[in-house]
Chains A and B, each alone.
Chain A
């Protein structure tokens, strides 16, 4: 046990970097699989309301988003501070929701159309008037499954 080595340097040997690419690839694949690209540029600003009984949105490919809120700070000079509805990349009126839902529905395969749902991401300080308009249009468009986006809290 108590072997006294007289020879050999006391310096620590350099760490082998041969496995570095493997490690990097592993992290890379992790991010590649978990990533989801940002599809739209947000033109409205919103702070989501908080709730305790939230459910996760399943099957993101079946979800269409409607954003409601004030224009972002850069755009406020041009568009004012009244709450706006954003569909895809532009501001729209509630009347455009019918077309928006129709085009979103066309993107899905026949079998998925019934499972389509709409996620309303609205600022917590907006008034219900604009949300009610959106809801009425969604009913007209027969997109009845809605999710009111909210962040999870554990209590008030």
Chain B
């Protein structure tokens, strides 16, 4: 009996792979046959372009920035604390459990060159995700008094609605003149 069990045990020990896959989740925009310019225009103040060229340099709002600055700039853009004219509009929205909340209309558009390294692309994606996660965490603490990881499903949904993850993957363009 024990021998058979041992045999099976060794088989499963060898065959097993324990690693769970982790990654950054994104939703791609649906395919459009001929991307035209008559798509609903986004106001300039609501759009922040993040561009990464083939030398892995990052440009945000027309300025060259380092990877460490990306998160704070993205947060500043989405939050628009001082209700500045140049930063995104906010729209008062009724959200369950939270009530009236000024939802930011800002969209972050990430553009990359064909020569950008995948590593840098993921790093920028990660920083942008981090910006949104930090904002969400702040909202969670403000309204529910606990970090988002400790909230239940309904509250988490409310926060996701209040701070939508608006990172758009732009139509590919050769921005680096490559």
Contacts and interface: CB of A to CB of B under 8 A. Distances in A.
A76 to B, nearest CB: 20
Contact of A146 (B1, B6, B25, B122): B25
B9 A52 contact: no
Interface string A22-53: 00110110011011111000000000011111
Contact of A142 (B20, B31, B130): B31
Contact of A124 (B12, B18, B114, B117): B117
Name which of B23, B31, B114, B129 has the most chain A CB atoms within 10 A of its CB: B23
A113 interface: no
Contacts of B28: 135, 138-139, 144-146
Contact of A144 (B16, B21, B27, B113): B27
Interface string B111-152: 011111111011101100110010000000000000000000
Contacts of B30: 139, 142, 144
Contacts of B113: 128
Given A24-B2, A52-B126, A139 B112 contact: no
B119 A51 contact: no
Interface stretch (A6-14, A104-112, A147-155): A147-155
Given A125-B117, A126-B117, A127-B116, A49 B22 contact: no
Contacts of A34: 16, 18
Given A24-B6, A31-B13, A49-B122, A129 B115 contact: yes
Contacts, number: 146
Interface residues on B, range: 35 or more
A18 to B, nearest CB: 10
Contacts of B115: 127-129
Contact of A56 (B21, B26, B116): B21
Contact of B114 (A56, A129, A152): A129
Interface residues of A, number: 51
B17 interface: yes
Contact of B119 (A21, A49, A55): A49
Contacts of B117: 124-128
Name which of B16, B20, B116 has the most chain A CB atoms within 10 A of its CB: B16
Contacts of A149: 21-23
A119 interface: yes
List of 4 A-B pairs having minimum Cβ-Cβ separation, nearest first: A129-B114, A31-B12, A147-B23, A124-B119
29 contacts: A21-B1, A24-B5, A28-B5, A35-B15, A35-B17, A36-B17, A54-B24, A55-B24, A57-B23, A124-B119, A124-B122, A127-B115, A127-B116, A128-B115, A128-B116, A128-B118, A135-B172, A136-B172, A138-B28, A139-B31, A142-B30, A144-B27, A144-B30, A145-B28, A146-B25, A147-B23, A147-B25, A150-B24, A150-B126
